[in-house]
Structure 1
Amino acid sequence: MQIETLKAFRDLVESRSFSKAAQLNKISQSAVSQQIRSLEERFGVPLIERGSRKVQLTKEGEILYHASKEIVDIYLKIEAKISEIKASISGLIRVSAIYSVGLHELPYYLKKFLKLYPEVNVRVEYRHSRQVYQDIAEGHSDIGIVAYPSPRKLIKIEPFRKDRLVVICSPSHRFSNLKEVGLEEISKEGFIAFSSDMPTRRELDKLFRDRGLEFRPVMEFDNVETVKRAVEIDAGVAIVPMATITQELKNGTLRMLELSGPPCYRPIGLLYKSGRMLTPAMRKFIELLQKEEIPIEPVDVLKIKNGAPA
């Protein structure tokens, strides 16, 4: 009985899918089935309830699953410790990130990280928030990055950074010469909103609701790039993370205004699967994300006045 067989069994139980277990172990579905049969033959008991649409374990299967999980975790810890002894920071890191962070903030960190650890291959996928959680839970990604992180079963959350939220409008909008604007004024304008199922939209809804206000969504989009394009053509105003608009401010295609009152921030969190052993490369990557501060405000924004280079 090999460690790969126990890992395939563990992944099958956790993903509830032969195809996903096959993908995670880079083997065929028939190979996963053969490995399960070999375990059943070795122990002389059925491990999976046959005839069920979903993967359902027998009592013996439950016992083997928990044991397999412990054995695989121990094995991965041994691998990681040996790798540390060899001082080799290498391997693959699979990252799932929401679009706004993946496109506008992550590149700065990737450049720094790959310069420090050129033997590491970082593969980034841009995903919607719900897909990031799913990728982490099912083992398709090693590290996830989401806004307004919420507790989920089998997922560990660590803080990353906070994005400052600001108001944007087109250069021809009546707000364009203002330095700040309140929620009451914004509620009277056409509003370009994120889709209702996105965490940032839910928090903005709450922000207005807490002030006894409502905004009028004239358009709704599921990514910040389309929101910005709609604002550029003066279809309405929007509230977005400041880190996502530095290029438009430099180009003069958008104007930025502060929200009146205390600054509003969008927390960003790092996700990884609970109980899994992080490789040295993954730990170094998380460490850099948490310690390194992207120089957005001092370099890109404070030198910009009313949306044009100062």
Structure 2
Amino acid sequence: MDQSLLVFMAVAETRHFTRAAEALHMTQPAVSQHIQALESNIGTKLLDRSNKHVRLNKAGEIVYKHGKEIEGLYTRMQRLVDDLMHNASGMLSIGASYTFGEYVLPHAIAYLQVHYPLIKPTITIGNTKEISSLVAGGQLDIGIVEGELEHGKLYAEPLAKDRMYVVTASSHPFAAADDIDAVRLQQETWIVREEGSGTREVTERMFLERGLNPENRMVFGSTQIIKESVEAGLGISLLSHWAVRKEIALGTVSRLTVGGRPVERDFSLLTGMHQQHTKAAEVFIGILRERKGWPEQA
């Protein structure tokens, strides 16, 4: 990969010539020369300089974005060449949205490590938009996200269905029921995720489909704090069965369906549309396809 482009990305990420030089084990004048050479080749300045730091200008932002994509392609090329002579091994970058990433993916990674210890996974957790962008840009090998997705650079394969239930404290009056009519949920205090969350999106869809518009709502920024709040009796919530399986087993919370069935949502496996997989990626994709019941099968 072009050395001047690598130096430029280091300067962009550290926002400082000296820190970039230290990270690259180079002298500061050498870093400056690489930046000047790249700017000369591109035909314009890429950085706004001040006494304290440097920042990307508009042209620099374009070069940095595409530089990261080139870096990802170069890394993948090297791994594919390495795979010709070795068994499945090396780095595997995986991205997942929050529910799958926090409650399901660790079990799949544990299985991977037992059977393929030479594969070294790294995990990125984010929302669907963030993960899909990273996969499309070649910065992640694989993505697992929820919801519908249309992206010209991505192939989306149905992977798993998630069942979601209304969750209450074990002391709540609804706790003894297995199912409940939607109308009885209208006056309850609902604890919901923040805007942009996949869980929040499904909750709002459930409200709409069942004619609910609860006035009492609390918005919390993580599933963990919602679970703790439900256990404490602050309110009820709609959560994935993956997220509350331990609490259900311990009897600290209860789950119930609305109208006789859980709320369902789909998770998809994302890969680059024209991306050639490394052996490590092929192995992990195979594991995900074969064991769609995570973590119940773990």
State TM-score, norm by structure 2.
0.74
CA distance 1:187–1:89, change in 2 (3 Å)? same
What corresponds to 1:202 in structure 2?
Answer: 201
What's the offset of the Cα at 1:282?
1.8
CA distance in 2, matches of 1:275, 1:28: 35
Q: Which structure 1 residue ranges, 5 or more long, are not aligned?
A: 301-310
CA distance in 1, matches of 2:201, 2:240: 15
43, 48, 57: which one aligns with 1:46:
43
CA distance in 2, matches of 1:197, 1:228: 19
What corresponds to 1:265 in structure 2?
Answer: 264
Mapping 1:164-243, distance limit 5 Å: 164-243=163-242
What corresponds to 1:250 in structure 2?
Answer: 249
What corresponds to 2:114 in structure 1?
Answer: 115
* Maintained 8 Å contact 2:179/2:260: no
Between 124-133 and 195-204, the greater mean CA deviation after superposition: 124-133
Report the AA paired with residue 205 of structure 2.
Answer: K
CA distance in 1, matches of 2:216, 2:191: 6
What's the offset of the Cα at 1:163?
0.6
Q: Which structure 2 residue ranges, 5 or more long, are not aligned?
A: 50-54
CA distance 1:70–1:136, change in 2 (3 Å)? closer
Mapping 1:1-310, distance limit 5 Å: 3-5=1-3, 8=6, 17=12, 19=14, 27=24, 34-35=33-34, 37-38=36-37, 46=43, 54=56, 56=58, 79-129=78-128, 131-133=130-132, 135-136=134-135, 141-152=140-151, 154-272=153-271, 275-294=274-293
CA distance in 2, matches of 1:224, 1:262: 22
* Maintained 8 Å contact 1:83/1:280: no
CA distance 1:286–1:181, change in 2 (3 Å)? same
CA distance 1:70–1:231, change in 2 (3 Å)? closer
What's the offset of the Cα at 1:136?
4.3
Cα shift readout 1:217-266 (whole Å, capped 9, x = no counterpart)? 43211221111111111111111111111111111101111222454212
> Size of the alignment, in residue pairs?
284
* Maintained 8 Å contact 2:96/2:125: yes
Q: Percent same amino acid at aligned positions?
A: 24
What's the offset of the Cα at 1:272?
4.6
Cα shift readout 1:186-233 (whole Å, capped 9, x = no counterpart)? 222111111122122123212212333212443211221111111111
* Maintained 8 Å contact 1:145/1:269: yes
CA distance in 2, matches of 1:288, 1:118: 14
Report the AA paired with residue 194 of structure 1.
Answer: R
CA distance in 2, matches of 1:6, 1:269: 38
State TM-score, norm by structure 1.
0.72
What's the offset of the Cα at 1:279?
2.2
* Maintained 8 Å contact 1:73/1:277: no
* Maintained 8 Å contact 2:73/2:138: no
CA distance in 1, matches of 2:169, 2:207: 22
What corresponds to 1:308 in structure 2?
Answer: none
* Maintained 8 Å contact 1:18/1:32: no
CA distance in 1, matches of 2:149, 2:213: 25
CA distance in 2, matches of 1:57, 1:151: 28
What corresponds to 2:52 in structure 1?
Answer: none
* Maintained 8 Å contact 1:100/1:223: no
* Maintained 8 Å contact 1:6/1:72: no
CA distance in 1, matches of 2:32, 2:281: 31
* Maintained 8 Å contact 1:148/1:199: yes
CA distance in 1, matches of 2:276, 2:35: 24
